[in-house]
Amino acid sequence: MQLTHFLLTLACLQVAWAIPAPDNNLRGLLQVPVGRPAEWFGQQPISGHPPFSPGHRDPYDHKVDTIGDDRQPLPIRNGDGTTMMGPRNRDRERQNPDLVRPPSTDHGSMSNMRWSFADSHIRIEEGGWTRQTTIRELPTSRELAGVNMRLDQGVIRELHWHTEAEWAFVLAGKVRVTALDLEGGTFMDDLEAGDLWYFPAGHPHSLQGLGENGTEFLLIFDDGNFSEESTFLLSDWLAHTPKAVLAENFRVSPEKFDNIPTSEKYIFQGSNPGSIDQEKPRTFKKSKTQFTHHLLAQEPVETSGGRVRIADSSNFPVSKTVAVAHLEISPGALREMHWHPNADEWTYFKKGRARVTIFAAEGNARTFNYMAGDVGIVPRNMGHFIENLSDDEPLEVLEIFRADRFRDFSLFQWLGSSPRRMIVENLFPNDPKAAAEFLKKIEGAEKDPIKDTI
């Protein structure tokens, strides 16, 4: 009788643990993702228990799309760990599931490599705003700094210049850019989503939102210590110059400057411009330098899992200090394992959700998760990949570098180009069957920047 009672009690405890009460930390763990096949974790079948539950077993550390699958991560992995009892930021946890429950391959200490523009302070101005991600927000962002800026219709980012070079990607809308080159030539162009511009350090320029909704863009500066507040502004300079000197410089009477701005204008509402031909000054001298580039108009490199476009000094000659790769990663696909020998990677996630593991040598590796509007850093020479977390939605990414050319090494291509004997003795000394299958896969391997993983 006592034995029967014990067995019944044990069975009840097992059921209670497998099907948690509605108000505890395990709520919803047994929900099965709608529309997923039985082996939705990948090619290798694993336990039937859902992710983040005590019974879940995944020795291969497959991805989990907590947002797409509506799951709440917990620090439970292959039977280790337990639930969380204290205060929680559940939204943050779902955005960063691989920090809550890291893959078993993560190890050691590594500086933070992730920041979201959502956490950056916004400066609000008349008809626009700006926010930045620099070394102050993300200490690993040493080589580049980023600024996200919005200008409404007719709004002007006033005439200015920087001590750093400025590179930009138009995220939405339309914008007019103007600049002056070193030979006194004027440059004017109208851009839209997917276009680039680049102004070398010290080159004066201006920006204005066009169309019904103006524009929004990502600015990149070739120094992580850059601050948008340190820009050289036309109104700021004149406000801090004696009017007598202004009169002498422009050969007009001093009182003509009585009503100029007394401080910087920075971003302000302007009138809607006419066409470029209408706006050209009477003494217009066309610049011989092409400061803009239509990136998305390029013919892409088609890969097994997406598309790649690259813009650097080879096809955008003025861009001497910034190179970019624009990636379209298909659902479930992978930006292959690789590294960059010439610069840190400053990654901007434009669309979708991603998982990235960074290998830093000496047994150090850490996994980070990214969403649209996030910034990632990968120091030069550190191995990494970019995995599309979603099996349904595409991932759009910009890989940006302080370099004149885009350069990377493919792990797949390297091994396919290496002596087969060395690979077997290095990786499969005691598993000839696995060695044979692996060698067959990498035979004649060519670089495939974005891989279809099926």
**Annotated binding-site positions for Mn(2+):** 160, 162, 166, 205, 338, 340, 345, 384
Question: Are the C-beta atoms of residues 115 and 137 closer than 8 Å to each other?
Answer: yes
Burial class (CB in 10 A: 0-12, 13-18, 19+), 63: buried
Instruction: Find tokens 């400061």 and name the residue.
Output: 291
Q: Which of 241, 262, 309 is nearest to 450 (CA)?
A: 309
Q: Is 125 a catalytic residue?
A: no
Q: Binding site: what residues are annotated?
A: 160, 162, 166, 205, 338, 340, 345, 384
Residue 302 makes CB contacts below 8 A (sequence gap 6+) with: none
The dihedral through the CA atoms of 6, 12, 15, 20 has a sign that is: negative
3-state helix, strand, coil in the chain (%, to 5): 20, 35, 50
Given 93, 387, 396, 399, which residue is catalytic?
399
**377-396: b (≥16 Cβ within 10 Å) or e:** bbbbebbbbbbbbbbebebb
**How many helices, marked H, and strands, marked E, lie in the chain?**
9, 26
Q: How far apart are CA 62 and CA 45, in angstroms?
A: 11
Task: Give catalytic residues, as residue numbers.
Answer: 399
